[in-house]
Chain A
Amino acid sequence: MNELLWTYVGWPLLKILVILLALVLLAAYLSWFERKLLAYMQIRLGPNRVGPKGWLQPIADALKLFVKEDLTPGFAEKFVFLLGPVLIIVPALVVFSVIPFGPSPHLFITDVNIGVLFILAVSSIGVYGIILGGWASNNKFSLMGGLRSAAQMISYEVPMGFSVVTVLILAKSLSLVRIVEAQKQAGLWFVFPGFVAFLVYFICGVAETNRNPFDLPEAESELVAGYHTEYSGMKFAFYFLAEYANMVVVSSLATVMFFGGWLRPFPNVSALAFLDVIPPLVWFLLKVAFFLFLYIWFRGTFPRYRFDQLMGIGWKVLLPVSLVNLLVVAYFVSLPGGQV
Chain B
Amino acid sequence: MNAYIPILLFVLVAVSFPIITLLIARALRAGKPHPVKNEPYECGVPVTSLAHETRYSVRYYLIAVLFVIFDVETVFLFPWAVLLDRLALFGFVEMLVFLAILVAGYVYAWRKGALQWA
Contact = CB atoms under 8 A, between A and B. Distances in A.
Interface of A: 8-9, 12-13, 15-17, 20, 65-71, 73-75, 85-86, 89-90, 93-94, 96-98, 109-113, 117-118, 135, 137-144, 147, 150-151, 154-155, 157-158, 161-162, 165-166, 168-169, 172-174, 224, 229-230, 233-235, 237-238, 307-308, 311-312, 315-316, 319, 323, 326-327, 330-331, 333-336, 338
A13 B24 contact: no
Interface string B1-20: 01111110111011101110
B104 interface: no
A323 B87 contact: no
Given A98-B7, A336-B88, A230 B117 contact: no
The 8 closest A-B pairs by CB, nearest first: A74-B38, A161-B74, A334-B92, A308-B117, A12-B6, A168-B81, A234-B25, A93-B14
B19 to A, nearest CB: 8
Contact of B92 (A20, A173, A319, A330): A330
A147 B2 contact: no
Contacts of A73: 37-41
Given A73-B37, A147-B60, 4 more contacts: A9-B9, A17-B13, A69-B32, A110-B5
22 contacts: A9-B5, A20-B17, A66-B28, A71-B38, A73-B38, A73-B41, A75-B39, A86-B19, A93-B14, A94-B14, A118-B7, A137-B51, A150-B60, A162-B77, A168-B81, A173-B82, A308-B117, A315-B115, A323-B103, A330-B95, A333-B84, A338-B85
Given A143-B54, A334-B88, A230 B41 contact: yes
B97 interface: no
- Per DSSP, chain B at the interface is helix
A239 to B, nearest CB: 11
Contacts of B56: 143-144, 147
B9 A112 contact: no
A151 B60 contact: yes
Given A67-B30, A139-B42, A334 B85 contact: yes
A169 B84 contact: yes
B31 to A, nearest CB: 6
A62 B32 CA distance: 21
Contact of B50 (A75, A230, A238, A316): A75
B3 A138 contact: no
A177 to B, nearest CB: 11
B54 A334 contact: no
B54 A140 contact: yes
B22 A234 contact: yes
A162 B115 contact: no
Contacts of A12: 5-6, 9-10
